[in-house]
Amino acid sequence: MSFETELAKASKSPVELRDIDANYHKYSVKDLPATIPGIKWQLLLSGLKLNSDSVVITQPDFFKALAVQLKTTSLETWKNYLKFHVLDATAIFLNKDIAYAHYQFNDKTLNGQQVPLERWDQVSRVIDGLMGDPLGYVYVHKYFPPAAKARMDTLVQNVEAAFEERIKNLQWMGDTTKQKAIAKLHAIIAKIAYPDQWKKYEGVNIDPAKYYTNALACKAYLYQEMINYLHAGKVDRKRWGMSPPTVNAEYDASLNTIEFPAGILQYPFFAVDADDAVNYGGIGLVIGHELTHGFDDQGRRFDGQGNRSDWWTAADEKRFNVKADQIVKLYDGYKVLDSLHVNGSLTQGENIADFGGLAISFDAFKKTAEYKAGKKINGFTPEQRYFLSFAQCRRRKMTDDYLKTFIKTDPHAPSWYRINGPYSNFDEFYKAYGLKPGQKMYRPDADRISIW
Ligand SMILES: [Zn+2]
């Protein structure tokens, strides 16, 4: 514990890790022994199967501290530390006692999970993690029809068009930056449902009697596949970051791509036969959210091809930061448990994306026939159904222990603030539900924040 604490002290905090430039340090491999002495770099790199004349080290100070620990920490402690990590990383593939010890510490003590996952649930997560493509191939052929892909394509196009229009109409952004922002927006590649190229797992032999060996074979395959990609030396913007069954979405700043695996393209986020209010209020909002990540505190430092570049004018950057600070303050003020608050700085990128996604997708929804007809379904107007849809997507419960860890480590605010924060700052929400002063979510006009 004390050894790990020393290593942790030399590591950056999650907020510090958001600073792109402070975490980019490129070194030539031959200079490394002089720049950060005390580590056998050649041995380390060949052990990692890395063949490169330069490397990027995100945290040089960590490696400097590591070099000190290599000298001062006893061999016995090092052995225990490494043994622990081999067991911790593989515990879920080993016998019941070790797997249970892993659950007790990681899931129960740290996160307040009261019972272990059922075996089917645990194992299907493992298969998704280690054989995501083969599993995804079967999954999408069974559950993701071409009609769903077509509807999703239209949603992405419409939400992107709505964002372009909003950028053009922004009061705070100058024309030069606007033109560049729109060019970057058009350069974004949308990856929907599943990859064009599937990983084939050549050479991986699966033996139904050997869970641990199978897991290691998959890990070795995935590692080698990553190294091959690196050594090929060519950026592949179509490369996927998640497995097709994953229930998540992402923006990748260094590729300038958005990705929506088939796993998130199901209820409550999306349904091929749902009305537009449900889809724009669900996945439409997520599409808008991901698009704005290209322009948040991190994404705006990259160009349309994903290269690090400063393309904002200083004046626009200043005006953006004023607005971003308002959002930081708003979330700093949100309380969880007795004395814990949301970390506004850590969550700012995600909160800005939630604010933007809500406004952008709503504009796209306004162009639909359903919105224009204004007909109620189950007693709710189209716009009320839009807001209900996203609130349903974010329904979640967290134990207090989990929440404590979540607040310190996760770049997202707890899910209820991801609804009440953006909604209480969005005029259309006031109109849809007739909010009045004195009601809990009411904020005076002048206090309402909007960025995108
Ligand atoms: Zn996000």
CATH code of residue 343: 3.40.390.10
Read off the pLDDT of each residue in 311-338 and give the average, rounded to a whole number: 95
Residue 128 lies in a domain: no
Read off the pLDDT of each residue in 199-212 and give the average, rounded to a whole number: 95
pLDDT tens-digit profile of 364-420? Answer: 999 999 999 999 999 999 999 999 999 999 999 998 888 998 999 999 999 999 999
Read off the pLDDT of each residue in 22-45 and give the average, rounded to a whole number: 95
Residues 262 and 396 in one domain: yes
Read off the pLDDT of each residue in 216-224 and give the average, rounded to a whole number: 97
Q: What is the DSSP pairing of strand 335-336 with strand 340-341?
A: antiparallel
Last residue of a domain, one of 85, 107, 129: 107
Rg (CA), the chain: 24
CA 192 to chain centre: 16
pLDDT tens-digit profile of 182-195? Answer: 999 999 999 999 99
Residue 211 lies in a domain: no
Residue 371 lies in a domain: yes
**Do the beta carbons of residue 336 and residue 397 sit within 8 Å?**
no
For the beta carbon of residue 44, count every other beta carbon within 10 angstroms. Answer: 12
Residue 333 lies in a domain: yes
The pair of structure tokens assigned to 152 is 């999703």
Read off the pLDDT of each residue in 326-347 and give the average, rounded to a whole number: 94
Q: How far is the CA of 250 from the centre of ligand 1 (A)?
A: 6
pLDDT of residue 45: 95
Q: How far is the CA of 135 from the centre of ligand 1 (A)?
A: 25
Q: Residue 47, class by beta-carbon neighbours within 10 Å (0-12 exposed, 13-18 middle, 19+ buried)?
A: exposed
Which range of residues forms the domain containing residue 69?
2-107
Residues 6+ positions from 406 with CB-CB distance below 8 Å: 398, 414
Q: How far is the CA of 249 from the centre of ligand 1 (A)?
A: 8
**Do the beta carbons of residue 285 and residue 356 sit within 8 Å?**
no
Residues 190 and 335 in one domain: yes
Dist CA 355 CA 285 (whole Å): 10
Q: How far is the CA of 228 from the centre of ligand 1 (A)?
A: 29
Reply yes or no on whether the pLDDT at 18 is more than 90.
no
Q: How far is the CA of 28 from the centre of ligand 1 (A)?
A: 33
Residues 189 and 86 in one domain: no
Reply yes or no on whether the pLDDT at 39 is more than 90.
yes
The pair of structure tokens assigned to 115 is 């019972």
Ramachandran sector of residue 300 (left: φ over 0; alpha: ψ -120 to 50; beta: rest): alpha
Domain count, the chain: 2
Read off the pLDDT of each residue in 136-144 and give the average, rounded to a whole number: 95
Residue 367 lies in a domain: yes
Residue 228 confidence class, pLDDT cut points 50, 70, 90:
very high
**Do the beta carbons of residue 53 and residue 230 sit within 8 Å?**
no
Q: How far is the CA of 353 from the centre of ligand 1 (A)?
A: 6
The pTM of the full predicted model, rounded to 2 decimals, is 0.93
Positive or negative torsion for Cα 213, 214, 219, 225: positive
The pair of structure tokens assigned to 401 is 């222990």
pLDDT of residue 112: 86
Q: How far is the CA of 376 from the centre of ligand 1 (A)?
A: 31
pLDDT of residue 259: 98
Q: How far is the CA of 349 from the centre of ligand 1 (A)?
A: 7
Last residue of a domain, one of 107, 130, 161: 107
pLDDT of residue 111: 85
Q: How many residues does the chain have?
A: 452
pLDDT of residue 406: 93
Residue 338 confidence class, pLDDT cut points 50, 70, 90:
confident
Residues 288 and 346 in one domain: yes
Residue 382 lies in a domain: yes
Residue 298 confidence class, pLDDT cut points 50, 70, 90:
confident
Residue 327 lies in a domain: yes
Find residue 56's DSSP bridge partners: 26
User: Which of these, 78, 71, 76, lies nearest to 38 by C-alpha position?
Assistant: 71
Residues 90 and 164 in one domain: no
**Do the beta carbons of residue 324 and residue 125 sit within 8 Å?**
no
Dist CA 205 CA 223 (whole Å): 16
Residues 60 and 186 in one domain: no
Which residues have a beta carbon within 5 Å of ligand 1, which is an ion? 350, 353
Q: How far is the CA of 394 from the centre of ligand 1 (A)?
A: 13
For the beta carbon of residue 50, count every other beta carbon within 10 angstroms. Answer: 13
Residues 30 and 176 in one domain: no
Q: How far is the CA of 397 from the centre of ligand 1 (A)?
A: 19
Residues 145 and 82 in one domain: no
Residue 337 confidence class, pLDDT cut points 50, 70, 90:
confident
pLDDT of residue 163: 98
Q: How far is the CA of 396 from the centre of ligand 1 (A)?
A: 17
Residues 259 and 397 in one domain: yes
**Do the beta carbons of residue 262 and residue 299 sit within 8 Å?**
no
Residues 26 and 167 in one domain: no
Q: Residue 139, class by beta-carbon neighbours within 10 Å (0-12 exposed, 13-18 middle, 19+ buried)?
A: buried
**Do the beta carbons of residue 269 and residue 282 sit within 8 Å?**
yes
Residue 129 lies in a domain: no
Work out the percent of the chain whose per-residue pLDDT is above 90: 94
Residues 96 and 167 in one domain: no
- 361-392 burial, b for 16+ CB within 10 Å, e for fewer? bbbbbeebebbeeeeeeeeebbbbbbbbbbbe
Residues 87 and 145 in one domain: no
* CA distances, 220 to each of 198, 205, 223, 226 (Å): 17, 12, 5, 10
